[in-house]
Structure 1
Amino acid sequence: MHVEARKITIIIHFGFIAVLSSIKTPSANAVELVGSMALSGGHKDRELRVHESLDELSTDLADYIAELSEASVKERGVFAIALSGGSLIGLMGKLCEAPYNKTVDWAKWYIFWADERVVAKNHADSNYKLAKDRLLSKVPIIPSHVHSINDTVSAEEAADDYEFVIRQLVKSRVISVSDISDCPKFDLILLGMGPDGHVASLFPNHSALEEKDEWVTFITDSPKPPPERITFTLPVINSASNVAIVATGDSKAEAVHLAVDDVGSDSPSVPAGVAQPLKGKLVWFLDKAAASKLEGSQFSA
Structure 2
Amino acid sequence: MRKLVEPPYKDSIEWSKWWIFWVDERVVPLGHDDSNYKLALDGFLSKVQIPSSNIYAINDKESPEGAAADYEARLKQLVESKVLPLSAISGFPKFDLMLLGMGPDGHVASLFPLRTHRHEKERLVTFITDSPKPPPPRITFTFPVINSASEIAMVVTGAELANMVDVTLGSAPPPDGIPPPCTEVSAEEELTWFLDKDAASKLQTSG
Return the TM-score normalized by structure 2: 0.95
Decide which of 117, 120, 123 is 1:214's aligned counterpart.
123
| Cα separation, 1, equivalents of 2:146 and 2:76 | 15
Hey, what does 1:271 align to over in structure 2? 181
Decide which of 228, 231, 239 is 2:148's aligned counterpart.
239
Report the Cα offset of residue 267 of structure 1: 4.2
Report the Cα offset of residue 268 of structure 1: 4.1
Report the Cα offset of residue 263 of structure 1: 4.3
Matches within 5 A, 1:41-52: none
Instruction: Describe the superposition over 1:129-180 as per-residue Cα deviations: whole angstroms up to 9, x where unpaired.
Output: 1000000000111111000100001000100000000011112222111102
1:160 aligns with 2:69: yes
Q: CA RMSD in A?
A: 1.5
Report the Cα offset of residue 234 of structure 1: 0.5
Matches within 5 A, 1:14-53: none
| Cα separation, 1, equivalents of 2:144 and 2:27 | 22
1:136 aligns with 2:78: no
Contact in 2 for aligned 1:193/1:247 (Cα 8 Å): yes
| Cα separation, 2, equivalents of 1:142 and 1:117 | 23
Decide which of 72, 95, 103 is 1:186's aligned counterpart.
95
Instruction: Describe the superposition over 1:196-246 as per-residue Cα deviations: whole angstroms up to 9, x where unpaired.
Output: 211100111221111000000000010011100000000100111011110
Give the count of matched residue pairs. Answer: 206
Contact in 2 for aligned 1:215/1:232 (Cα 8 Å): yes
Point out where structure 1 has 5 or more consecutive residues left out of the alignment: 1-91
Bigger Cα displacement from structure 2, 133-142 vs 195-204: 195-204
| Cα separation, 2, equivalents of 1:262 and 1:168 | 43
3-state SS of the aligned residue for 2:21? strand
3-state SS of the aligned residue for 1:113? coil
Hey, what does 1:258 align to over in structure 2? 167
Hey, what does 1:88 align to over in structure 2? none
Hey, what does 1:119 align to over in structure 2? 28
| Cα separation, 2, equivalents of 1:175 and 1:272 | 25
Contact in 2 for aligned 1:202/1:209 (Cα 8 Å): yes
3-state SS of the aligned residue for 1:110? coil
Report the Cα offset of residue 119 of structure 1: 0.4
Task: Write 1 or 2 for the structure with the bigger share of strand.
Answer: 1
Instruction: Describe the superposition over 1:27-49 as per-residue Cα deviations: whole angstroms up to 9, x where unpaired.
Output: xxxxxxxxxxxxxxxxxxxxxxx
Q: Percent identity?
A: 56
Report the Cα offset of residue 295 of structure 1: 2.8
Return the TM-score normalized by structure 1: 0.66
Q: Which runs of 4+ in 1 moved over 2 A?
A: 261-268
- Structure 2 residue identity aligned to 1:234: F
Bigger Cα displacement from structure 2, 254-263 vs 182-191: 254-263
Contact in 1 for aligned 2:99/2:154 (Cα 8 Å): yes
Contact in 2 for aligned 1:215/1:235 (Cα 8 Å): yes
- Structure 2 residue identity aligned to 1:110: W
| Cα separation, 2, equivalents of 1:129 and 1:142 | 17
Report the Cα offset of residue 264 of structure 1: 5.5
Contact in 2 for aligned 1:258/1:268 (Cα 8 Å): no
Instruction: Describe the superposition over 1:8-39 as per-residue Cα deviations: whole angstroms up to 9, x where unpaired.
Output: xxxxxxxxxxxxxxxxxxxxxxxxxxxxxxxx
